[in-house]
Each structure stands twice: as C-alpha cells, then as structure tokens.
Amino acid sequence: MNEATEWASKVWANASRDVISAVGTDTERYLHSQLAQQIEGMSVGDRVWSLLLEPTGKVIAVVGVTRHNSNEFSIDCDPGDGEQVLARLQRFRLRVDAELTLTVASGEISDEMERLRVHEGWPRGSREIVAGETIPAELPMLHDLVSFTKGCYPGQELVERMDARNSTSPFEIVRMVGDLPAGSEVVANGKVVGTVTSVAGGAMLVRARRKRHS
C-alpha cells in the first residue's frame, strides 16, 4: 500500500461520501464478480479500495467497499459519483439477490479536506477521474485498487494486458506547485505538457503527458 492509499484510508474515506447499500444472499458473490478487488472472503468490518470499471476497462470510479455482515456490504464513492456507480452495478444484476440503494452525500468536501487531497495526490471523481474515459494505468495507486489473482470481472482484460506487458498510459497524474485554475494548460519549454485538474493551497494536480522513460 503506497503512502497516498494509507492517507486515503485514514482521512479521505471519512470525508463526505455517496454510499450504496448492498443487501442480499448473493451480494458477496455479485460484488466480487463486478469489482476489481478481492471481495469474497472479506471479514466483517473490513474495508478495501477498489476500481469499478466499464467492460472496456475504462474507470467508472474508485470506491471503498465495507463488509457489515454475511449478506450486507456498503460501497462508498466520491460525492456525485453515486448515481453512475449505482447504474453500472445495476446493469448486470440479473436474477441476483442483491438489493442496491443509494444515499447521496449529506455535505460538501471541505476546503481543508480538498487541500489535503491535492497535496497527497489522491484522484477524485469528476476531477482527475472522468467516468468512461480514464484508464486504470493513469492512477498512481492502481496496484492498491485491483487484485491480480482473482477471477474475471468487467474491464479486467485491459488491466491485465497492460500489467503483463509492463505498459504505461500516455498520461499520468502528477503534483505540481502552483495555483493555475482547473482546466488551465501547463506549458514547459514552449510545449503543453498537461492540464490542471485540481488546485488547492498552492498545489495542483495535473493530467500530464507521461515522459517517455518515466
């Protein structure tokens, strides 16, 4: 687990979140079949980070999954991501005893929490992660979000293929010093090298074109 993931587990997981309750006798099996992380075998009280992907391998959201008892889990995600996470999970829920209910975040992310997130380099939905467009290899904590030993799940092929080939994505999320507005282009040596996705407290997260040998 990298430092950003450790921080997120202690801090970001406790920020305002959209939460989907999943209840039913098939819940464990169903979530295991849909999420990139190992869900089967989680103990009561355990929480893991996972990717939820489109079948094409593009990222829908980074989610937290908590087991409450044998038939009840919750899936938490960044504010505003809940509806698309619910829609994606509902898409393949056929003849499965797993009822899904969304509760949207009760508050906004505080300015201080956002500052901490940017300084830690943790990507956020609708900022660094664009649902249906971002590829997993862009995320700096990818290996904390997936299991490379579990069975099949939608989107696995892209994750496994890039890992097996030791491939990198054309872009990466990097931290930079500065206060350019989100959406601004970052220029170095006369060339556009990336786009600002988040800014807070004198630091920026930038979706930057990956250096050839980085």
Give the integer Cα–Cα distance in Å for 16 and 137.
26
Query: In this structure, are 29 and 97 located in the same domain?
Result: yes
The per-residue pLDDT for 214 is 42
Each residue's pLDDT tens digit, 76-90: 999 999 999 999 999
Query: In this structure, are 188 and 155 located in the same domain?
Result: no
The per-residue pLDDT for 163 is 75
Query: In this structure, are 143 and 176 located in the same domain?
Result: no
Instruction: Lowest mean pLDDT of 21-30, 37-46, 136-145, name the range.
Output: 136-145
Query: In this structure, are 94 and 198 located in the same domain?
Result: no
Whether the predicted pLDDT of 209 surpasses 50: yes
Please check whether residue 214 lies inside any domain of the structure.
no
Query: In this structure, are 49 and 121 located in the same domain?
Result: yes
Question: In which element (H, E) is residue 88 found?
Answer: helix 82-91
Q: pTM of the full predicted structure?
A: 0.93
Query: In this structure, are 104 and 195 located in the same domain?
Result: no
Note down the domain range covering 198.
171-209
Each residue's pLDDT tens digit, 52-106: 999 999 999 999 999 999 999 999 999 999 999 999 999 999 999 999 999 999 9
Query: In this structure, are 92 and 43 located in the same domain?
Result: yes
Please check whether residue 138 lies inside any domain of the structure.
yes
Query: In this structure, are 192 and 124 located in the same domain?
Result: no
Q: In 10 A of CB 214, how many CB atoms?
A: 8
The count of domains in the chain is 2
Query: In this structure, are 201 and 143 located in the same domain?
Result: no
Query: In this structure, are 70 and 176 located in the same domain?
Result: no
Please check whether residue 140 lies inside any domain of the structure.
yes
The per-residue pLDDT for 161 is 85
Whether the predicted pLDDT of 213 surpasses 60: no
Query: In this structure, are 125 and 53 located in the same domain?
Result: yes
Question: In which element (H, E) is residue 76 found?
Answer: strand 72-77
Whether the predicted pLDDT of 170 surpasses 50: yes
The per-residue pLDDT for 167 is 65
Q: Taking residues 22-28, what's their average pLDDT?
A: 98
Query: In this structure, are 175 and 145 located in the same domain?
Result: no
The closest of 198, 194, 196 to 208, measured between CA atoms, is 194
